[in-house]
């Protein structure tokens, strides 16, 4: 029964319920490959990729002939940036189930991500032999766009009988590229509504978000921050670099530039900092977070900062980020700004790179892409605007109360002056300049974010001032975003070049 409940919860996108039910099923039978496979999927969906990988591999140890587990393991590895390890998983799955649409479609997607469009098309041609032509042609759209064949891609999307949410967002991005902006906005609004329905109607609870942010602002003031303990520097392992910024603000670009350096390894979107409050709750019970941190002011709880640090490194080791040969690894989890005071407890000397972009451009870009971060904010423009404004307010509060010693990079400056801004970044991190950082788009590493195709292109300013095409649609939100615009040094109305 537990495994059935887990499947039902997963289908309705109740990930916490699915995790609890899968854990109960695991306790009932720790050698059931289907339970491990399900737990691997749930943990991967929760972005705990290393744990998800472990359970998927355990499922395959117990039953090597699980095609779905091979595919899910490959997807997990791709999301970790280990695309080369995904290839043999797809090959094994294809040998077990020749002509399987899921196998061929995901395998094809891997090659599109890596820029091998010829191989991607070949795999889709095989899939066409076992599936409906429309299903396969919709998969082919992304490859046509990647290759610059926008008109053929649009023809496929416009001729489709009933687009799903993802395909409608794709068509909207094509309309945007072709200057058909009213149609683009309509597709993004409708596409997001379809995705929300497919996910079981997730809600963005603005009042809960505001209440959490208010608690953080009330506790994390200088008078409370000063007595918090600070962990010492561990010199035996590579150190994290925290790349912070809103989704679609340029954090993936900065990470790709930085990880082109020989001394830096890509960590991607790590969940570790967001797991600290739960750990603190176990270490400092009887009060809720963040008020329970006051318990660390006493000598017998000063070790909590060290435990936060070592927990983070233990999770990083599980993710293979502490292997010798590098000095730094990146952590670019969206909305990590929320945990800045905890970052300073665990890593007082850590480098923090803050990436900002015009909030109006951020909102347009968040609306046009599928996003899973930010309390389900990505499904509606109203909740996107609220989340952007709320996080900007919290970040500005932290900047007043904390001694961050961070580096701020503006997306608009970075794409216009890449060498100057790259040198600023490397100087801040105390790294020598390497020309490879300016050729980041040639790096053979897949970035597991919606920006994966953009960071394989040379830098361009195409997305700067993108919001100017949507002045009418954004007009109702300008006053709500005014504090965020002002804080970033942007005009409080749509900007034009």
Q: Where a domain ends, among 201, 219, 250?
A: 201
Q: What is the pLDDT of residue 28?
A: 92
For 318, residues 6+ apart whose C-beta sits below 8 A from its C-beta are 50, 51
Residue 493 lies in a domain: no
Based on the fold, state whether residues 160 and 177 are members of the same structural domain.
Answer: no
C-alpha 81/C-alpha 316 separation (Å) is 14
CA neighbours closer than 13 Å in the CB half-sphere of residue 62: 16
Residue 329 lies in a domain: yes
CA–CA distance from 69 to each of 91, 103, 114, 401, 452 (Å)? 13, 11, 22, 47, 24
Based on the fold, state whether residues 175 and 236 are members of the same structural domain.
Answer: no
For 433, residues 6+ apart whose C-beta sits below 8 A from its C-beta are 422, 423, 426
CA–CA distance from 236 to each of 239, 303, 324 (Å)? 9, 19, 10
Sign of CA dihedral 73, 76, 80, 86: positive
CB 467 within 8 A of CB 358: yes
Q: What is the pLDDT of residue 457?
A: 55
Task: Go through 18-56 and write b for each residue having 16 or more CB atoms within 10 A of its CB, e for each that does not.
Answer: bbbbbeebbeeeeebbbbbbbbbbbbbbbbbbbbbbbbb
Q: Distance from CA of residue 460 to its chain's centroid?
A: 22
C-alpha 345/C-alpha 343 separation (Å) is 5
CB 237 within 8 A of CB 313: yes
CB atoms within 10 A of CB 420: 11
CA–CA distance from 202 to each of 11, 113, 191, 222, 497 (Å)? 13, 29, 15, 36, 38
CA neighbours closer than 13 Å in the CB half-sphere of residue 234: 20
Q: Where a domain ends, among 165, 191, 217?
A: 165
As to burial, measured by CB atoms within 10 angstroms (0-12 exposed, 13-18 middle, 19+ buried), residue 159 is exposed
Residue 160 lies in a domain: yes
C-alpha 271/C-alpha 333 separation (Å) is 7
Based on the fold, state whether residues 369 and 423 are members of the same structural domain.
Answer: yes
Strand (E) or helix (H) holding 355: strand 351-356
- Which CATH number characterizes residue 306's domain? 3.40.50.300
Based on the fold, state whether residues 159 and 10 are members of the same structural domain.
Answer: yes
Q: What is the pLDDT of residue 452?
A: 44
Residue 319, φ and ψ in degrees, nearest 5: -85, 5
Based on the fold, state whether residues 370 and 456 are members of the same structural domain.
Answer: yes
Q: What is the pLDDT of residue 453?
A: 44
Based on the fold, state whether residues 239 and 305 are members of the same structural domain.
Answer: yes
3-state SS, residue 240: strand
For 496, residues 6+ apart whose C-beta sits below 8 A from its C-beta are 465, 468
Q: What is the pLDDT of residue 259?
A: 95
C-alpha 358/C-alpha 372 separation (Å) is 21
Structure tokens at 373: 């971060």
pLDDT by residue, tens only, the chain of 497 residues? 678 888 888 887 788 899 999 999 999 999 999 999 999 999 999 889 999 999 999 999 999 999 999 999 999 999 988 899 999 999 999 999 998 888 998 999 999 888 888 898 899 888 888 776 667 787 888 888 888 889 988 888 888 878 899 999 999 999 999 999 999 999 999 999 999 998 888 899 999 999 999 999 999 999 999 999 999 999 999 999 999 999 999 999 999 999 999 999 999 999 999 999 999 999 999 899 999 999 999 999 999 999 999 999 999 999 999 988 899 999 999 999 999 999 999 999 999 999 999 999 999 999 999 988 889 999 999 999 999 999 999 999 999 999 899 999 999 999 999 999 999 999 999 999 999 999 987 765 555 555 444 445 567 777 789 999 999 999 999 999 999 999 999 988 766 66
CB 316 within 8 A of CB 267: yes
Based on the fold, state whether residues 382 and 465 are members of the same structural domain.
Answer: yes
C-alpha 173/C-alpha 163 separation (Å) is 14
Residue 496 lies in a domain: no
Based on the fold, state whether residues 359 and 371 are members of the same structural domain.
Answer: yes
Based on the fold, state whether residues 317 and 295 are members of the same structural domain.
Answer: yes
What pTM value is reported for the model?
0.89
Based on the fold, state whether residues 174 and 253 are members of the same structural domain.
Answer: no
How many domains is the chain partitioned into structurally? Answer: 3
Q: Which domain holds residue 40?
A: 2-165
C-alpha 409/C-alpha 71 separation (Å) is 38
CB 38 within 8 A of CB 6: yes
Based on the fold, state whether residues 172 and 303 are members of the same structural domain.
Answer: no
Residue 295 lies in a domain: yes
For 206, residues 6+ apart whose C-beta sits below 8 A from its C-beta are 383, 386
CB 79 within 8 A of CB 41: no
Based on the fold, state whether residues 12 and 105 are members of the same structural domain.
Answer: yes
Q: Where a domain ends, among 150, 176, 201?
A: 201
């Amino acid at each position: 029964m537990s495994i059935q409940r887990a499947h039902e919860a997963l289908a309705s996108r109740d990930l916490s319920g699915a995790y609890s039910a899968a854990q109960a099923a695991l306790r009932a039978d720790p050698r059931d490959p289907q339970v491990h496979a399900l737990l691997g999927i749930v943990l991967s969906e929760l972005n705990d990729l290393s744990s998800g990988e472990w359970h998927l591999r355990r499922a395959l140890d117990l039953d090597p002939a699980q095609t779905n587990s091979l595919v899910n393991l490959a997807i997990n590895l791709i999301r970790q940036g280990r695309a080369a390890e995904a290839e043999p998983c797809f090959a094994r799955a294809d040998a077990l189930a020749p002509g399987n649409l899921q196998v061929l479609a995901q395998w094809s997607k891997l090659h599109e991500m890596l820029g091998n469009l010829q191989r991607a098309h070949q795999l889709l041609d095989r899939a066409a032999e076992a599936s409906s032509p429309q299903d396969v042609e919709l998969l082919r759209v992304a490859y046509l766009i990647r290759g610059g064949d926008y008109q053929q891609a649009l023809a496929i999307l416009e001729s489709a009988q009933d687009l799903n949410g993802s395909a409608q967002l794709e068509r909207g991005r094509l309309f945007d590229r072709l200057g058909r902006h009213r149609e683009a906005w309509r597709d993004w609004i409708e596409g997001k509504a379809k995705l929300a329905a497919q996910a079981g109607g997730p809600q963005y609870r603005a009042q809960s978000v505001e209440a959490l942010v208010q608690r953080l602002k009330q506790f994390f003031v200088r008078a409370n921050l000063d007595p918090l303990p600070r962990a010492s520097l561990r010199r035996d392992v590579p150190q994290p670099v925290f790349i912070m910024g809103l989704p679609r603000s340029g954090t993936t670009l900065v990470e790709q530039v930085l990880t082109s350096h020989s001394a830096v390894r890509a960590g991607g979107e790590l969940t570790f900092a967001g797991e600290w409050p739960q750990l603190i709750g176990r270490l400092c019970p009887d009060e809720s977070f963040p008020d329970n941190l006051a318990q660390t002011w006493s000598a017998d709880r000063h070790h909590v900062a060290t435990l936060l640090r070592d927990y983070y490194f233990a999770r990083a080791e599980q993710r293979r980020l502490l292997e010798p040969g590098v000095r730094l690894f990146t952590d670019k989890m969206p909305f990590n700004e929320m945990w800045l005071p905890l970052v300073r407890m665990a890593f007082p000397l850590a480098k923090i790179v803050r990436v900002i972009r015009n909030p109006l451009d951020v909102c347009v870009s968040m609306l046009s892409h599928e996003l899973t971060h930010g309390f389900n904010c990505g499904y509606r423009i109203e909740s996107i605007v609220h989340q952007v404004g709320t996080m900007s307010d919290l970040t500005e509060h932290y900047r007043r109360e904390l001694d961050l010693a961070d580096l701020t990079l503006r997306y608009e400056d970075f794409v216009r002056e890449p060498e100057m801004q790259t040198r600023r970044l490397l100087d801040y991190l105390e790294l020598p300049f390497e020309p490879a950082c300016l050729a980041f788009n040639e790096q053979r590493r897949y970035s597991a974010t919606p920006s994966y195709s953009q960071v394989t292109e040379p830098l361009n300013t195409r997305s700067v001032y993108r919001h100017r095409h949507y002045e009418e649609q954004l007009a109702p939100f300008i006053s709500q975003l005014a504090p965020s615009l002002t804080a970033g040094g942007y005009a409080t109305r749509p900007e034009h070049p």
